[in-house]
Amino acid sequence: MKMAKRIIVSLIILVSCLESHAQQDPLYAQYLNNPMVINPAYAGLNNNFNASVSYRSQWGGFDGKPVTMNVNSHIALVDNKVGAGFLLVSDQLGSVKNTEFQAAFSYKLELNDNVLSFGMQAGFINFRNNFGELNLADPNDPAFGQNENVTKPNLGFGMILKSERYFLSASIPRMLSSTVSEGGQEFDLYDQHFYLLGAYLINLNENIRFKPSMLLKGVAGAPLSVDLNFNVNIDARYTAGIFTRNFNTYGLILQMLLSDKYLIAYNFELPTNNSVGSQFTTNEIMLGIKMPLLMAHDRSITNF
């Protein structure tokens, strides 16, 4: 069974690295807690200092499973008119590892009870492929004789419109499609991903609120990905919800806000047989802090 898993992973990696050569964006379930991972316009948007770290282990028990770590921080500056932050990501699938660093900046406009934010990010992405980690039938195959290590620049753009009741986001966090030359041929290294995120807050009573959301992700050559989330928030501090991704994966989300500034969030995902099979579950945890550091910062709990 273990050998079968390794063969399957090797086939997945070979198809992605040799035929299309295009990398996919990291996958998250905590994007509504931390939209910074997909949209630089969120930098400083909640008029506070923010920092978080997240760890995602996808398809547990699967050899070569995807593992993603994310560290980011951002802050509102200049009387909350601009935001600045950074994003550090490590994403690995089998022998393929992508590491990126992005610096993000945003500018906000007050529109009555709404806020419109424009954001840009710039940085680099390092793509690595260590063929020595693959279970090859012929270790001396010249096609796998040299490991890959390529670093490419990146630019990203995003917009967010939000109020206390709704949140709308559109972004292309990695705008530069990248190619690499091998054996005199050009291969796609990375294709642009487009994100549309929407969420709405419904007050059921004084203490309980319902927050549905939807994320659309598109990339050339792949079907549109759709995430549907349904969360219930109690006393603005405790959240529980369910979600589905393309109706192939289902999950549970739990969140807790402590002392109005510390956030602990956890989600559990169960794939179906239309995905990789229900035995390969996914766990993601995020720890975050949100607090006022400057006089102009907001001292209240924000909805988004």
Alpha-carbon separation of residue 125 from 14, 177, 261, 303 (angstroms): 21, 11, 31, 32
What is residue 297's predicted lDDT score, i.e. its pLDDT? Answer: 96
**Burial code of 117-126, b = ≥16 C-beta within 10 A, e = fewer?**
bebbbebebe
Name the domain count of the chain.
1
Residue at 304 is within a domain: no
DSSP state of 23: B
How many CA atoms does the CB half-sphere of 31 hold within 13 Å?
Answer: 27
40-44, 64-68, 102-106: least confidently modelled range: 64-68
Tell me what percent of the residues of the chain surpass a pLDDT of 90. 62
Digit-coded pLDDT (tens) for 263-291: 999 999 998 877 766 778 999 999 999 99
Position 243 in a domain: yes
Q: Which DSSP state fits 131?
A: G
Confidence of residue 247 (pLDDT cuts 50, 70, 90): very high
Of 23-37, 87-101, 162-176, 237-251, where does mean pLDDT reach its minimum? 23-37
Please report whether residue 303 resides in a domain: no
Task: Please tell me the predicted confidence (pLDDT) of residue 26.
Answer: 84
Assess whether pLDDT exceeds 70 at residue 9: no
Residue 239 lies in a domain: yes
pTM score: 0.87
Mean pLDDT of the chain: 86
Burial label for 272, CB within 10 Å (0-12, 13-18, 19+), is middle
Residue 10 has pLDDT above 50, yes or no: no
Per-residue pLDDT tens digits for 193-220: 999 999 999 999 999 999 999 999 999 8
What mean pLDDT is predicted for residues 98-121? 96
Q: Name which residue leads in pLDDT, 259 or 189.
A: 259
pLDDT of residue 296: 94
Q: What is the pLDDT of residue 54?
A: 96
Is 33 within a domain? Answer: yes
* pLDDT number for residue 19: 37
Supply the CATH number for residue 247's domain.
Answer: 2.40.160.40
pLDDT, residue 5, reads 42
Phi first, then psi, for residue 179 (nearest 5°) are: -130, 165
In a domain, 91, yes or no: yes
**Residues 86/104, Cβ–Cβ less than 8 Å:** yes
Average of per-residue pLDDT across 42-66: 90
Residues 6 or more apart whose CB falls under 8 angstroms from that of 92 comprise: 66, 67, 68, 98
The answer to whether residue 39 is domain-embedded is: yes
Q: What is the mean pLDDT of residues 281-304?
A: 93
pLDDT band at 190 (very low <50, low <70, confident <90, very high): confident
- Whether 149 has a pLDDT exceeding 60, the answer reads yes
Between residues 107 and 275, the one the model is more confident about: 107
What pLDDT score was predicted for residue 81? 96
In a domain, residue 58? The reply is yes
- Overall average pLDDT of the 6-24 stretch: 45
Quote the domain boundaries for residue 71: 2-291
